[in-house]
Chain A
Amino acid sequence: MSSVVLYFQVHQPLRIKKYRVFDMGNSHEYFNDEGDSSLNNKKILRKVAAKSYLPANELILKLLKRHKEFKASYSFSGVFLEQIVKYAPEVLESFQKLVKTGKVEILGETYYHSLSFFYSRHEFESQVVLHEKTIKKLFGYTPKVFRNTELAYNNDLAHWADKKYLGILAEGWDSFLGWRSPNFLYKPQGTTKIKLLLKNYKLSDDIAFRFSQKSWPEFPLTAPKFASWVNQINGNGDVVNLFMDYETFGEHQWKEHGIFDFLENMPGEILKHPDNDFVTPTEACKKYPTMDEVDVPYVVTWADTERDLSAWVGNQIQKSAIDYIYSMEREINKTRDARLLDDWRKMQTSDHFYYMCTKWFSDGDVHKYFNPYESPYDAFISYMNAASDLKLRVNEKLNQTHIEHIALQKKWAKSVAVS
């Protein structure tokens, strides 16, 4: 028996507009580019909605109706949900329709698509709770399986999730798996009940990265061919975990190259084999036992050939930016100002740091493709200027609160004296 687990990541960051040093102290809007640039969040969201989210949702709904065994799971970042509520409510509705079928599971993550787990446990937990509340409100659902931003995973994260979730997702990376296969469930080291689902990166990336690559020997990828690869796992594994960005469909891989036709035919082809089916992550956890214990003392992610955090915090500008933003935590919390807190958290979204990545920058590869800024340095400059402005606002607010506090004290002293 081989169960295919589909998980799609749905996320759009709030990109920081070109924010110059001269804007500091004058404008406190960091995410509202309304021009023609690649930093106009609303424009990008609407574009991706038209090219990817809406047609993909329509197709998935059709597939859910066509094949009773077909299932899928999604993880939505809070910043994504916020944007569709505001700019594309029809996208929200179409996702709600999918969830209503009862065959679609939603995973838990941090609201702000952040790497907060590695910087502040307290902040991380607040963001997970916030995300949970949002999912409950919009979909009437409480996540039972967790996936961290960029699939960033280590033992500590599994320990944390053990108390709360049935399962957790990670990259099926050879460095810790060794000879073991990603096509089984595992028990994270030192945990009691949580189960680990590992991405089959070969098959996932065949779709997500290689689908339109003419230089790939397997090009063109067809649904029967893909199904035959899945069938090969039958008997050698319990699950085939296909994890990818949802934007794969229509945005990263184009309709013109046949990605939607592939998606439409893939479930039927897989289900032709009587021993294959589709399950959600929760069902996988309930259905299959763990094979072995895995020990991941270091952070593993789903990015680049290194599969570590170096795409986000690999160089000095990335490190200094992320350190700067987390160094504000105490003061931010002291202000008790919802707007400041929200701006601060939106600046934690991992994409901001990804845009500052200098790995392979001069070779113009995937990092350049995904970068809306002219260069990693432009990304850093706008980020730091905005973060510095935020810091000024925090200081101002704290001074003000301090002054108000003193005024209140004086007033109180006076009233006591009078009485």
Chain B
Amino acid sequence: MAKNVLMIGWELPPFNSGGLGEACLGLSKALAKKGTNVTFVLPQKVDLHFDFMNLVFANVAEEGTDLVNEAYQSYEVWVKGKKFKIKDAPSGYVAGALKYAKRIKEIAQKAVPDIIHSHDWFTFPAGIAAKEATNAPFVAQVHSTEIDRTGGNSPNQTVFEIEKLGVQSADKVIAISQMQRNILNTSYDVSPEKIEVVYNGASFFEKEKLPPTLEFYKSAGYKIVLFLGRITLMKGPEYFVRAAKRILDYEKKVIFVVVGNGDMFSQMLSEAVNLGIMNNFIFTGFLQGEDKHRIYQTADIYLMPSVSEPFGLTVLESIGNGTPVLLSKQSGVSEIVSNVLKTDFWDIDEIANKVISAIRYPALLTVLKDESKKELPNISWDRSADKCLHVYQDLAQ
């Protein structure tokens, strides 16, 4: 029985900017509930405390580089964001990841883990080091790959190599969808038998009703279509804008709310301007907590046109907030939810067809809302934790 698990993570909410932190928290909490002692390591100290697990900080970024509070998008994006030229860019994340590995030894030895479980490439060197230090089996969980983050366009070679080394030296690899299992198999040479799919779970099944927002538009009869996520290539922001144009050609009273930040923000904005539909767009920037849930609840439909989405936790958040979803088939979550609208991310016409239909035939949204909600209890972290424990068990024997 694997009692002590050393989780090596990168971020946790609210100090997170994406699904990775949410997933780590959801899984750890469910594991703890089932009697597992979770020691969760973060690279840098943050003001957090949990009663169900021990939090340990590796103090990787002591010397001033702020590594957390900012998710790794892709190497190229990160460099651009820092306004460095690619060739003389500091390899901050890579250096951070390696330093994490250096610091982990002591922590690991102290924790005496039965299992080491690390999350995404920047924690893989640490995972390998922890295994060397303790001899405990090493589980590498992949939430997103460099292939996903770059859409396959010039993935960073160093990141890719670290990723590959991580999944290949792991005793077991956890993928968060079948889609990702395939990528790990074809692009990272991991045999399918070594990869277990453990889907993410919903953190809540039904969010309480929050005060409305954007009431002006709602009362004037506008429908709200939501984009929520990092504004970056893999989330398909350009498809969102082009679909918006197509929708507005047929239905005038629609407002497109964009929640999030990212490297393609200005591109998205200027695309909306160029298409002459900027008046129908609202950009809110990054939102979290209650604000985020309020936006979900206000929206009539959440549109996730991701080009490549290893999972897509936001879909479960939206459903939990009672908002129907249109998602791209190129997402992991699409493998486990049925009562949603599905299209290919590139099929602007079909996205528009479905959104317009949802606006014109209101029964559609009513049924999607009611039926999708019924699915959530079957997509719980509890279930993910059970599968995870199964993986641990096999390794511990």
Known: A316-B363, A381-B364. A20 touches B349 (CB 8 A): yes
Q: Does B250 contact A (CB under 8 A)?
A: yes
Question: Which stretch from B71-79, B169-177, B231-239, B354-362 is at the chain A interface?
Answer: B354-362
B360 with A384: CB separation less than 8 A? yes
A388 to B363, CA, bound (A): 15
How many residues does chain B have at the interface if contact means C-beta atoms less than 8 Å apart? Answer: 24
B322 to chain A, nearest CB (A): 15
A384 with B357: CB separation less than 8 A? yes
Which of B338, B356, B363, B378 has its CB near the most chain A CB atoms (within 10 A)? B363
* Contact among B357, B366, B374 for A21, CB-based, below 8 A: B357
The closest CB in chain B to the CB of A381 belongs to B357
A384 with B361: CB separation less than 8 A? yes
B338 with A361: CB separation less than 8 A? yes
A155 to chain B, nearest CB (A): 30
Interface residues of A in 138-188 (CB under 8 A from B): none
The closest CB in chain B to the CB of A388 belongs to B360
Q: Chain B interface mostly helix, strand, loop or mixed?
A: helix
A21 with B364: CB separation less than 8 A? no
Question: Which stretch from A6-14, A285-293, A372-380, A392-400 is at the chain B interface?
Answer: A372-380
Q: Does B70 contact A (CB under 8 A)?
A: no
Q: Does B341 contact A (CB under 8 A)?
A: yes
A21 with B339: CB separation less than 8 A? no
A384 to B357, CA, bound (A): 8
Contacts of B378 in A (CB 8 A): 362
B181 to chain A, nearest CB (A): 20
Contacts of A374 in B (CB 8 A): 342
Contacts of B366 in A (CB 8 A): 316
Type the 1/0 row for A302-346, where 1 means its CB is closer than 8 Å to any CB of B: 000000000000011101110000000000000000000000000
How many A-B residue pairs lie within 8 Å, measured between CB atoms? Answer: 66
B303 to chain A, nearest CB (A): 15
Q: Does B393 contact A (CB under 8 A)?
A: no
B191 to chain A, nearest CB (A): 28
The closest CB in chain A to the CB of B368 belongs to A377
Known: A21-B356, A381-B354, A381-B357. A362 touches B338 (CB 8 A): yes
Q: Does B375 contact A (CB under 8 A)?
A: yes
Q: Does A385 contact B (CB under 8 A)?
A: yes
A384 to B350, CA, bound (A): 15
How many residues does chain A have at the interface if contact means C-beta atoms less than 8 Å apart? Answer: 21
Contacts of A22 in B (CB 8 A): 250, 349, 352-353
A20 with B361: CB separation less than 8 A? no
The closest CB in chain B to the CB of A361 belongs to B338
Q: Does A280 contact B (CB under 8 A)?
A: no
Interface residues of A in 356-373 (CB under 8 A from B): 358, 361-362
A362 with B339: CB separation less than 8 A? yes
A22 to B338, CA, bound (A): 25
A325 to chain B, nearest CB (A): 13
* Contact among A317, A361, A376, A381 for B353, CB-based, below 8 A: A381
B42 to chain A, nearest CB (A): 36
B363 with A21: CB separation less than 8 A? no
A315 to B337, CA, bound (A): 19
Q: Does B367 contact A (CB under 8 A)?
A: yes
Q: Does B263 contact A (CB under 8 A)?
A: no
* Contact among A20, A316, A385 for B367, CB-based, below 8 A: A316
B350 with A20: CB separation less than 8 A? yes
A380 with B353: CB separation less than 8 A? no
Q: Does B386 contact A (CB under 8 A)?
A: no
A150 to B341, CA, bound (A): 29
A384 to B338, CA, bound (A): 21
Which of A20, A381, A385 has its CB near the most chain B CB atoms (within 10 A)? A381
Known: A362-B338, A375-B342, A377-B341. A317 touches B356 (CB 8 A): no
B361 with A361: CB separation less than 8 A? no
A199 to B209, CA, bound (A): 49
Contacts of A319 in B (CB 8 A): 363
A20 to B366, CA, bound (A): 20
A315 to B363, CA, bound (A): 9
Contacts of A376 in B (CB 8 A): 367
Known: A20-B349, A384-B360. A315 touches B367 (CB 8 A): yes
The closest CB in chain B to the CB of A363 belongs to B338
A358 with B353: CB separation less than 8 A? no
A320 with B361: CB separation less than 8 A? yes
Q: Does B206 contact A (CB under 8 A)?
A: no
A315 to B365, CA, bound (A): 12
A48 to B277, CA, bound (A): 49
A21 with B371: CB separation less than 8 A? no
A317 with B349: CB separation less than 8 A? no
Contacts of B356 in A (CB 8 A): 21
A182 to B354, CA, bound (A): 46
A21 to B249, CA, bound (A): 11
A62 to B354, CA, bound (A): 51
A380 to B364, CA, bound (A): 8
B339 with A358: CB separation less than 8 A? yes
Type the 1/0 row for B118-138, where 1 means its CB is closer than 8 Å to any CB of A: 000000000000000000000
Residue positions of B touching A, CB distance < 8 A: 250, 337-339, 341-342, 349-350, 352-354, 356-357, 360-361, 363-364, 366-368, 371, 374-375, 378
Can you give 23 contacting A-B residue pairs, CB < 8 Å? A20-B353, A21-B360, A22-B250, A22-B352, A22-B353, A315-B367, A315-B371, A316-B366, A316-B367, A317-B361, A317-B364, A317-B367, A361-B338, A361-B339, A362-B337, A375-B338, A375-B341, A377-B341, A377-B368, A380-B363, A380-B364, A381-B357, A384-B357
The 5 closest A-B CB pairs, nearest first, are A320-B363, A362-B338, A20-B353, A316-B363, A381-B357
